[in-house]
Amino acid sequence: MFWKNHDPFSSKSRQYMSAIFYHDETQQKLALETKAALEKERNRAVATKVLPAEQFYDAEEYHQKYIIKHHPALMNHLDIDPDDITDSHVCTRLNGYVAGYGNLQEFEKEWPLLGLTAKLAEYVIKEARKGVRGSCGQ
């Protein structure tokens, strides 16, 4: 799932880099194996770093759920206190879909569970298709 939902080949600054942080040798081994398999499959070097998990810091508030914040209709419908956006599972899921990540077939199953109306689900689908990723996986 990790490799399919972002561009692991794009090299970014440290602040925005793609990384897998592992907690034990099993996680490290799995990350390195799947990274090597992707490189072999695509015949291309993966920029994603595999690093030990150390101290973790939340991103600054203005980075939290950045995409969904630019969709006031969704934010108003969700009626989530801005202080709670970082911990909101619903905001996390919708932020990804609106950005063009995920699978629209899965979204079709999930949107009622997220508390959306049919009209808002249509809006998310429309935005997902033109999302920053290019288009949400069909």
Global pTM reads 0.66
| Same domain, yes or no: 121 and 65 | yes
Q: Does any domain span residue 69?
A: yes
| Same domain, yes or no: 122 and 67 | yes
| Same domain, yes or no: 119 and 74 | yes
Mean pLDDT of 41-46: 95
| Same domain, yes or no: 117 and 65 | yes
pLDDT class for 28, splitting at 50, 70, 90?
Answer: very high
Q: Does any domain span residue 138?
A: no
The residue segments making up the domain with residue 11 are: 3-52
| Same domain, yes or no: 65 and 47 | no
| Same domain, yes or no: 44 and 84 | no
- Residue 75 gets which letter from DSSP? H
Q: Does any domain span residue 119?
A: yes
Partnered with residue 52 across adjacent β-strands are 22
Task: For the chain, give the mean pLDDT.
Answer: 87
Overall number of domains in the chain: 2
**Distance from CA of residue 105 to its chain's centroid?**
17
Q: Does any domain span residue 134?
A: no
Mean pLDDT of 18-43: 96
Mean pLDDT of 71-77: 85
Q: How far apart are CA 79 and CA 117, in angstroms?
A: 14
